[in-house]
Amino acid sequence: MDGSKRVQSAFGRGVGRICAVAAGRTSAQMAAQVCAGVRQTPTIELRLDWLKSDQERASFLRWLKKNRPRNATFIATCRRRAGGGKFRGSVSAELRWLSLARGAGCVWSDLEIESTRSLTSARLAACELPRVLLSHHDFRRTPPLSRISESRRSLAADAIKVAAQARTIADSVRLMRLPLTPKNSHGNCVAVPMGEVGLPARILALREGSALAYAPIDEQTAPGQVSLNELKNLYRAHQLNGSTRVFGVIGDPIAHSLSPLLHNTGFIAAKLNAVYLPFLVKKLRDFLQAACDFGIRGFSVTLPHKTAILKYLEECHPLAEKIGAVNTVTVPPNGSLFGCNTDYVGVLRSLEKRLNLAKSRVLILGAGGSARAVAVALTHAGAAVAICSRRSHAAQALAKAVDGAAMPRSALRHQVFDAIVNATPVGMHPHVAISPLTASELNCRIVMDLIYHPQQTQLLKLAARQGIATISGVEMFLAQGIAQWEMWTKRRAPTAAMRRAVLRTLDGELSRQAAR
């Protein structure tokens, strides 16, 4: 679009539209972050307000003037506390630092709208600032957007940035599409949906014409940010366009999910123009109403929506219908929803290697969507299934559906099973110290936990101490996710690369936990 071309000329092309945020407490920290940032992108925002004193600000600007990397674009920000920053000085002091930043080589200054309320365009011009990016930050909600655009015109700012908390998915769509509105379609508009709900729109904002997308080099400076490395190398935000196929995972919570890592690694390895995003979805209807705005072609479904999604489907695979839960939805061009379930694939592949399922007795903990998938899969394989859940009525209903038995927890110490499968979220990150069962209740040969984050849950640790074989949920996670990937792309998945990426991340987290 024409606006996109103007944006590129103002802030850079391609990866230059990803703005790395340097925010250190000392001049040395800032300098180190700048050096790290320019290895990833030529556009750097300098959060001068994060520096702990005027002495550190002056020291850093001296360093920048002497060592400024060539072909880099610097945006100076000295945001006052009234605008959501850390600078405790006056508006005049802020303007002074932005002017000094210009002398150090910054070609843009980010000036928050709160600081301009007492300024005229004539006084602003007299300050000899770099080009002005007028910014509005609202950390509580998404405000009416039309009035903010008018502020830009009254002060003759060169560009405008709106960063606001997206409390709903609809909020995030409004922000994401702000650069496409008639008042901003000429370019030089930056849209930044904040918060976890706004994260997918934040990643897609460049595709919708936003001049920049921000990512921290080190420490987060706003809610909902993804790291510079992830924004550039995992989500490839600067490469997304109108032809990009968009997929995602919906759930609550969702921040722990490794599905974006799994699927995006596959897209990168296969050189596909596609991206997979994490959607925090509290109300299923809200997401489905916005799916068209995001251009969704398919999505994974996790807790707590695996059963609720059924009533929104136009078609459902017979096995998923029997399971009564869906973890995979395909969205054809006409916008209809087709649901299926790949959870059962991971369960069977994991347990068939260890057990003759046709002659096995298996206890399933839980009676939700994942538990139903496990129960149906194991019953089809010939196993005798028992269901234990804190919701006794749900356990009885699931047991009846698969010709199994409902079992109260009080009976577990006196029962023996070939395998126990945990299909509850108990023990999932961040509540990693909790186990759904005690050691005395693990009377079995194998314990499998569907949780994959962490890879070794407290339940699996208890089992291992008793000499019981364990199966991590990562095996099921990989199998079901790869099945989804192949269903959506109609290609053979690059499984080695996808597995390697997930295991490397999980091993890294384990090492960090051990270091603590």
Taking the CA atoms of residue 469, residue 472, residue 478 and residue 483 in that order, the dihedral angle to the nearest 10 degrees is: 60
DSSP 37-99: HTTT-SEEEEEGGGSSSHHHHHHHHHHHHHHPPTT-EEEEE--BGGGTSSB-S-HHHHHHHHH
Closest CA to 445 of 422, 420, 421: 420
Give the C-alpha separation, 161 to 180, whole Å.
Answer: 14
Residue 194 CB contacts under 8 Å (≥ 6 apart), including other chains: 139, 163, 164, 165, 166, 202, 222, 223, 224
| Count of other CB atoms within 10 angstroms of residue 71 | 8
Give the C-alpha separation, 195 to 172, whole Å.
Answer: 9
Residue 386 bridge partners (DSSP): 363, 405
Closest CA to 446 of 426, 472, 481, 479: 472
Residue 237 per-residue DSSP state = G
| Residues with a known catalytic role | 306
- Sole residue written with tokens 């002495």: 55
Q: Which two tokens stand for residue 339?
A: 């649901």
Give the C-alpha separation, 190 to 160, whole Å.
Answer: 6
